[in-house]
Amino acid sequence: MEEKNQLAFFQHCWFCFLFLIVYTISYTVQGFDYADALSKSLLYFEAQRSGRLPYNQRVSWRDHSGLTDGLEQGVDLVGGYYDAGDHVKFGLPMAFTVTMLSWGAREYREQIAEAGELEHTMEAIKWGTDYFIKAHTNPNVLWAEVGDGDTDHYCWQRPEDMTTSRQAYKVDEQNPGSDLAGETAAAMAAASIVFRETNPHYSHLLLHHAQELFEFGDKYRGKYDVSVGVVKSYYASVSGYMDELLWAAMWLYKATDNKQYLEYVISNAHSFGGIGWAITEFSWDVKYAGLQVLASKFLVEEKHKVHADTLQQYRSKAEFFMCSCLNKNNGSNNNVGLTPAGLLYVRQWNNMQYVSTATFLLTIYSDFLNNTKQKLTCNNGVTISPEEILGFAKSQIDYILGSNPMNMSYLVGYGTNYPKRVHHRGASMVSYRENKGFIGCTQGYDNWYSNEGPNPNVVVGALVGGPDFEDKFEDRRNNYMQTEACTYNTAPLVAVFAKLLELQNQNLLVPESESASLMVASF
């Protein structure tokens, strides 16, 4: 009798074991719903809108806000984006957000259109560029910020109820901001490419502003956080302005094909750090890796052969970045850190921003190598195929969407298990559309911020700061290093989701046989 029970037990265990294998294989092959992730990522930008919301606004828990922005200074600064869970309009991260959305739309326009999301992508870009046009009130004047972090953080209010300072700050000839002017020029130049076919007049207008802003930033050089001191504690320009000037010139060259902009990128390559800085992050502050990837792609074009030596140096730095993400450089300081479960890890505060930007560059570079039939070469002659690079990029996206030790989707609203207590004022409080009763500055802290329940509104598509270096995550509203989201976190994901969706639809992601053998081998 005992032997029969043991036999039955082992048969049951073996059945469970086989079921687990089959389930795991099935899940791996099926993968994630990249179409849903793409759609949700674009909703996030509607949640972050400032100004008078349009008739087709889909995020219904938001309403008009910031309708007097710029009034005290005699300028119309209504519109634009709140960068995160607060209500300051910071120019530098907003511009980088638009640059990344535009770059993604330029590279993967067909894939985004095939997914039915091109119109929403272009609306997200235009909401930002419309604001930049307003903020550029004079060839040598750019409004850098509306509101300030110190007074804004004193209150916990819905954007519709704001009582905090809406003072606006600018850069000009006497108070330069080359980094801000450069990034805004890059955003408008990149966006001008996106709108060229569908709205040529608007595209031309954006290009005009981009050229003026670049000239302003280059002629009157200086860091914007020196001129606008209130930004220093929030978005200080640690990398300086040289990367943004190179970045702006690069995008202007791509938008105009005017050789003077390419000559700028080439002639200043060394003195501005374009071919000197080998770095392991790409962010709203540090643009070198993105610049180097763009320069690398020129090498295969005949008309750029005259600059081959400098472009090759740009490429070597771009490939240093790729190898650092793949952990193939010599020395730990030359590689991006990885959590035990394989997530790229740069720093504690809002680490996911670096994951999304790196994943974007890896995807772009993988396509470049694939299209030109090349491979990536890292230290000691190790070669890596475009498929391997894309596979690693996919692993980062899948981690974001739930393939991680917490079984948590860090893209809010995707799946069923995602952060419910996002550090976000508007999402954490009853919707203004439901209750127009005024919520005061400290009342928000007392009644909503300290509430341990889930947010009443879901800020769909927000990519939160994410887990720590041990893959651990605490879903608490006051855990802002992990639960706050930013526009520049989500912006790079739009293009990557579209690319992975295309491959998924073509059945080109991880063949079933490979998935099965990998799963079986892991037991």
> Which amino acid, one-letter code, is at 459?
V
Instruction: Answer whether 425's CB lies under 8 Å from 132's CB.
Output: no
Instruction: Answer whether 485's CB lies under 8 Å from 45's CB.
Output: no
β-pair partners for 89: 146
Task: Return phi, psi of residue 314, to 5°.
Answer: -60, -45
Contacts of residue 312, defined as CB under 8 A and 6 or more positions apart, other chains included, come to 299
Task: Return phi, psi of residue 81, to 5°.
Answer: -125, 145
Q: What are the residue numbers of the active site?
A: 423
Q: How many CB atoms are closer than 10 A to CB 34?
A: 24
Go through 412-427 and write b for each residue having 16 or more CB atoms within 10 A of its CB, e for each that does not: bbbbeebbebbbbbbb
Q: Which stretches of 220-307 are DSSP H helices?
A: 224-227, 232-235, 242-256, 259-267, 288-296
Instruction: Answer whether 290's CB lies under 8 Å from 361's CB.
Output: yes
Length of the chain, please? Answer: 523
Tokens of 328: 């193939």
Burial of residue 78 (CB within 10 Å: 0-12, 13-18, 19+) is buried
Instruction: Answer whether 92's CB lies under 8 Å from 213's CB.
Output: no
> How far is the C-alpha of 123 from the C-alpha of 243, rounded, in Å?
28
Contacts of residue 464, defined as CB under 8 A and 6 or more positions apart, other chains included, come to 352, 410, 412, 419, 422, 482, 483, 484, 485, 489
